[in-house]
Chain A
């Protein structure tokens, strides 16, 4: 295809490089430096999509972030991305795009039937229609709405692109490289401030690329290029294009996303596709410019209708004509530049100006060039379905509410300009309360909440002279504030044309005999009528009107529609716009890919992985791992075709019969040191600690102040002022913070220090009747007899040259030891233990077997200590000292905690002694009772008892004490099970605890 609408030798594109691309299956060409939008327009394509609700044909409306229509499904590098703004994506070889929200094609869309039925789709249609019957919602209404609505299709494939995050600090961040941004960045950088200048487009200069101005006898673009190259030379400046600052958060934290990869034909393996910048800066200068707003008229959504500024940008930057018979419809001077540009390129435009006959530099210029101007005129309605073919225009009456006469004019595009709206999004996000500027009929920033200044068009300053002045001043002011330096900068001479004031005309009245929809919001298909309906139905707050009509929602966030919507509401309500107010601006300013937000934190980088020193041994021995927080723990070691239950039963049985070894490195370990350590432990734990001798361990339970059990574990007195505390794997971090809280805030007088030593020690538990035999061989020089190293004893030893700590503690209920060595020797210790234990039948066991062993012993763990149980609930009564005070003690005397039928831990066995009871099952008296069936409690832990060879569970149930011997039902609707169970004691094995002391 030829690029019929390309203007010779115009624009900043590289005509030496032709780029091939596809649109809706057809091949086209464009040039390097094009956007998808400019390349399509060069090929005469206007129809790019169908509208959201009515499936009306839509075309390009703008040339940048303000585009509401041209959202395409883009295929690039094997990925498919929905809702990509065609005006923002750069053309690159091999890119392919398709229209969205249409079927079977954008040219013929079945959904357009909605357009004929539009009477039935007014504002609030969904709310009104799909209200009842309620039962229809999930099965009928929702699937229907989901199918009918929506834009592109999200990919279900894994995103294999690379995304990065970057943190940056600077003195000043300048957002936007138009004249205001360039001037501010330059002034601040000259004084040595560390400056970041961010531009969302690929080219720097903003409006300087399009406007007919000169600065110091240079064209706008040449001046911008000169400043940019100077800034790039400065070591204290980071200049970034393709970078959109999209969020302004607390304490001057801004986020920016940089398009680093998509414009490159070939990128290296390590080039990210996009990069997210977190920028913390002392000062911010917002030079985000302004967006042209449209004038509302009939069928103003027809392809070929676009913003005058967009048409100018396509001509000036891309050398593309958007039409050959243009109508320029304006209420201000700036559109005259578009008309003149058309004329310069050999096209005769017709200007319709809503203002009375008048003159200004620009108007006179246009007149002198022979451009036809009709003052007091407006476009009433565009005609044409897939492309505008003609327009009904009218001469406005004196009060501009009717027309003196109307006529039809042929045209192939209508360039509309309803004056300028400052882009105040970032300022508003920063907490700046906006004020309404009557001169420009728009909101501008008011008082800053954070360290930010808005300059240039974003501040309602539409002349280049004022903008440059404000920019240089703001930059100098900031640098003076930051490093107290004055910068001496000559403000350049500017030549620009003066504009006459604009006309406060924003919506063309629709005579009764002309039928047409007048759209305020293109992306959401919100028309003037919809807003009128919303108000008629009683919606008053602008926030409510927004939600009822969807005005200003979706990806373009109402950039072109907000103010016209506000105007309409204020006209109907007979209020002025500032009284109506505006809706809240929220980040992100433009859509940001999920990939960018997530960055590199995907897959195994989603969170850190903690591995014990024995991890590789576990892998080699067929361990199946389970996540325990960030840790990977062996769940069981698979032999042959064993199921998990078979493996866990084998491992647990081996512990009960012979000896097992378990990696317990993941347990939290905290060193508690200092002369007041005993006193501190005495306050932290529920039991007594003042008399624990050196070389002894003790089991302890700690509570939160509300009386709930927080954690349990053993603490060993290593020496006079040194204790070694262990915590559960899950609570390790919380317990440390908890101890620090009390030491630093509540009892700073205690001379105690705590530090985590979890990663310093590798641990292995040796459990089972044969464990002493293994220990004796591991430490031939130590007397490990029951007398010399009794239960809860502690001794230090030498494990084949490695210093080791030996604790006689037990979680399995068997005779057991835990041995700790310096982490580096963890694997060495483990292998020695396996080697020496071989003759005694040693086998490793994982967390499944570990659970089985502790459950049948009735030892509580995480599932019982779930933050909702006090010590009495889990049969830890004996651990609670009556004599001393400790954290949480006062709560234990609360009435609710002492009721006779308070919940209590019990054991459960299925009556048939066969059916396993799912964890989480609810316990009820009668399984057939009417709903809601009163619940007595829940099953917290379940196992297959290796000792008794039948299922066994722990449960916490109301009045547990008195339930022993009764029969209940364990009901698990999730697993569709209802099992008759017998309530027994929670200690199923070795009631007296003889084994641990043997």
Chain B
């Protein structure tokens, strides 16, 4: 079970969190023409990297904040976590 540092609450066990996927995905702006490819990339296509991955976590059983984490998908090492408005 991972041990994750919520930027708001501190170190907590993984069972308090929900995983939210790749944090680098940006939603296309509203009311903008979006090609099929761009839209599919946003909705479906993910890289499934091995190694360092910046991803979203949601502290669902805690402060309910979404935040970013940099994690190694192969070793599970978490290098850093940050609030959504911070650089990681």
A interface residues with partner B (beta carbon < 8 Å): 249-253, 278, 280, 431, 449, 683, 705-706, 733, 736-737, 740-741, 744-746, 748, 884-885, 890-891, 894
Are the CB atoms of B13 and A744 closer together than 8 Å? Answer: no
Set of chain A residues within 8 Å of B31, measured between Cβ atoms? 884-885
Q: Does B79 contact A (CB under 8 A)?
A: no
Q: Does B46 contact A (CB under 8 A)?
A: no
Are the CB atoms of B43 and A891 closer together than 8 Å? Answer: yes
Set of chain A residues within 8 Å of B56, measured between Cβ atoms? 745
Are the CB atoms of B58 and A280 closer together than 8 Å? Answer: no
Set of chain A residues within 8 Å of B48, measured between Cβ atoms? none
Most chain B Cβ neighbours within 10 Å, of A252, A683, A746 = A746
Instruction: Check A253/B66 contact, CB under 8 A, given A449-B75, A737-B58.
Output: no
List the count of A-B residue pairs having beta carbons below 8 Å apart. Answer: 54
- Listed A/B pairs (22) with beta-carbon separation below 8 Å: A250-B76, A251-B76, A253-B1, A705-B27, A705-B43, A706-B44, A733-B60, A737-B58, A737-B60, A740-B58, A740-B64, A740-B66, A741-B20, A741-B58, A741-B66, A744-B84, A745-B84, A748-B85, A885-B30, A885-B31, A890-B34, A891-B39
C-alpha gap A736/B64 in the complex (Å): 10
C-alpha gap A745/B82 in the complex (Å): 13
C-alpha gap A890/B31 in the complex (Å): 10
Set of chain A residues within 8 Å of B66, measured between Cβ atoms? 740-741, 744-745
Set of chain B residues within 8 Å of A280, measured between Cβ atoms? 3, 13
Set of chain A residues within 8 Å of B18, measured between Cβ atoms? 737
Are the CB atoms of B30 and A683 closer together than 8 Å? Answer: yes
Q: In residues 26-43 of chain B, which contact A (Cβ within 8 Å)?
A: 27-28, 30-31, 34, 36, 39, 42-43
Set of chain B residues within 8 Å of A251, measured between Cβ atoms? 1-3, 76, 78
Are the CB atoms of A748 and B1 closer together than 8 Å? Answer: no
Q: Which residue of B lies closest to A741 (CB)?
A: B66
User: Which 10 pairs from chain A and chain B are nearest by CB?
Assistant: A251-B3, A885-B30, A744-B66, A885-B31, A250-B76, A253-B1, A746-B27, A890-B39, A705-B43, A251-B2
Q: Which residue of B lies closest to A278 (CB)?
A: B1
C-alpha gap A733/B65 in the complex (Å): 14
Q: Chain B nearest CB: distance from A230 CB in Å? A: 31
Are the CB atoms of B42 and A705 closer together than 8 Å? Answer: yes
C-alpha gap A251/B66 in the complex (Å): 21
Instruction: Check A249/B58 contact, CB under 8 A, given A449-B75, A744-B84, A885-B30.
Output: no
Are the CB atoms of B28 and A890 closer together than 8 Å? Answer: yes
Q: Classify chain B's interface size.
A: 20 to 34
Q: In residues 43-88 of chain B, which contact A (Cβ within 8 Å)?
A: 43-44, 56, 58, 60, 64-66, 75-76, 78, 84-85
C-alpha gap A891/B39 in the complex (Å): 8
Q: Chain B nearest CB: distance from A824 CB in Å? A: 25
Are the CB atoms of A431 and B75 closer together than 8 Å? Answer: yes
C-alpha gap A449/B74 in the complex (Å): 12
- Identify 7 new A-B residue pairs, CB closer than 8 A, beyond the known A280-B3, A736-B64: A250-B2, A253-B13, A706-B43, A740-B58, A740-B64, A884-B31, A890-B34
Q: Chain A nearest CB: distance from B10 CB in Å? A: 13
Q: Among the listed A253, A706, A737, which residue makes an inter-chain contact with B3, where contact means beta carbons less than 8 Å apart? A: A253
Set of chain B residues within 8 Å of A249, measured between Cβ atoms? 1
Q: Chain B nearest CB: distance from A514 CB in Å? A: 51
Are the CB atoms of B39 and A748 closer together than 8 Å? Answer: no
Most chain B Cβ neighbours within 10 Å, of A683, A746, A890 = A890
C-alpha gap A594/B6 in the complex (Å): 32
Q: Which residue of A lies closest to B18 (CB)?
A: A737
Are the CB atoms of B3 and A252 closer together than 8 Å? Answer: yes
Are the CB atoms of A748 and B84 closer together than 8 Å? Answer: yes
Q: Which residue of B lies closest to A886 (CB)?
A: B30
Set of chain A residues within 8 Å of B84, measured between Cβ atoms? 744-745, 748
C-alpha gap A737/B18 in the complex (Å): 10
Q: Chain B nearest CB: distance from A703 CB in Å? A: 11
C-alpha gap A322/B31 in the complex (Å): 85
Set of chain B residues within 8 Å of A890, measured between Cβ atoms? 28, 34, 39
Q: Which residue of A lies closest to B65 (CB)?
A: A744
Set of chain A residues within 8 Å of B30, measured between Cβ atoms? 683, 885
C-alpha gap A251/B34 in the complex (Å): 42
C-alpha gap A251/B77 in the complex (Å): 8
C-alpha gap A736/B34 in the complex (Å): 27
C-alpha gap A745/B86 in the complex (Å): 12
Instruction: Write the B2-25 contact mask toward A (1 if CB under 8 angstroms, else 0).
Output: 110000000001000010100000
Q: Chain A nearest CB: distance from B88 CB in Å? A: 14
Q: Chain B nearest CB: distance from A562 CB in Å? A: 25
C-alpha gap A409/B49 in the complex (Å): 65
Q: Which residue of B lies closest to A683 (CB)?
A: B30
C-alpha gap A251/B72 in the complex (Å): 12
Q: Chain A nearest CB: distance from B30 CB in Å? A: 4
Set of chain A residues within 8 Å of B85, measured between Cβ atoms? 748
Most chain A Cβ neighbours within 10 Å, of B36, B43, B78 = B43
Set of chain B residues within 8 Å of A431, measured between Cβ atoms? 75
Are the CB atoms of A250 and B39 closer together than 8 Å? Answer: no
Q: Which residue of B lies closest to A704 (CB)?
A: B43
C-alpha gap A746/B58 in the complex (Å): 14
Set of chain A residues within 8 Å of B60, measured between Cβ atoms? 733, 737
Set of chain B residues within 8 Å of A737, measured between Cβ atoms? 18, 58, 60
Q: Chain A nearest CB: distance from B62 CB in Å? A: 12
Set of chain B residues within 8 Å of A449, measured between Cβ atoms? 75
C-alpha gap A461/B64 in the complex (Å): 49
Are the CB atoms of A250 and B1 closer together than 8 Å? Answer: yes
Set of chain A residues within 8 Å of B36, measured between Cβ atoms? 894
Q: Chain B nearest CB: distance from A805 CB in Å? A: 25
Set of chain A residues within 8 Å of B64, measured between Cβ atoms? 736, 740
Q: Which residue of B lies closest to A890 (CB)?
A: B39
C-alpha gap A248/B84 in the complex (Å): 32
Set of chain A residues within 8 Å of B1, measured between Cβ atoms? 249-251, 253, 278
C-alpha gap A593/B85 in the complex (Å): 46
Set of chain B residues within 8 Å of A706, measured between Cβ atoms? 43-44
Set of chain A residues within 8 Å of B13, measured between Cβ atoms? 253, 280
Q: Which residue of B lies closest to A431 (CB)?
A: B75
Most chain A Cβ neighbours within 10 Å, of B13, B30, B58 = B30
C-alpha gap A894/B37 in the complex (Å): 11
Q: Which residue of A lies closest to B3 (CB)?
A: A251
Q: Which residue of B lies closest to A167 (CB)?
A: B13
Most chain A Cβ neighbours within 10 Å, of B20, B27, B34, B78 = B27
Q: Which residue of B lies closest to A888 (CB)?
A: B43
Set of chain A residues within 8 Å of B3, measured between Cβ atoms? 250-253, 280
Q: Which residue of B lies closest to A169 (CB)?
A: B11
Set of chain B residues within 8 Å of A278, measured between Cβ atoms? 1
Q: Which residue of B lies closest to A746 (CB)?
A: B27
Set of chain B residues within 8 Å of A683, measured between Cβ atoms? 30
Q: Chain A nearest CB: distance from B24 CB in Å? A: 12
C-alpha gap A428/B1 in the complex (Å): 17
Set of chain B residues within 8 Å of A705, measured between Cβ atoms? 27, 42-43
Q: Chain B nearest CB: distance from A870 CB in Å? A: 13
C-alpha gap A829/B43 in the complex (Å): 46
Q: Which residue of A lies closest to B67 (CB)?
A: A744
Set of chain A residues within 8 Å of B58, measured between Cβ atoms? 737, 740-741
Q: Chain A nearest CB: distance from B31 CB in Å? A: 5
Set of chain B residues within 8 Å of A884, measured between Cβ atoms? 31
Set of chain B residues within 8 Å of A733, measured between Cβ atoms? 60
Set of chain A residues within 8 Å of B42, measured between Cβ atoms? 705
Set of chain B residues within 8 Å of A744, measured between Cβ atoms? 65-66, 84
Q: Which residue of B lies closest to A252 (CB)?
A: B3
C-alpha gap A744/B66 in the complex (Å): 7
C-alpha gap A683/B42 in the complex (Å): 17
Q: Chain A nearest CB: distance from B60 CB in Å? A: 7
Q: Which residue of B lies closest to A280 (CB)?
A: B3
Most chain A Cβ neighbours within 10 Å, of B34, B58, B78, B85 = B58
C-alpha gap A706/B39 in the complex (Å): 9
Q: Chain A nearest CB: distance from B71 CB in Å? A: 11
Q: Chain B nearest CB: distance from A599 CB in Å? A: 14
Q: Chain B nearest CB: distance from A281 CB in Å? A: 10
C-alpha gap A449/B60 in the complex (Å): 29
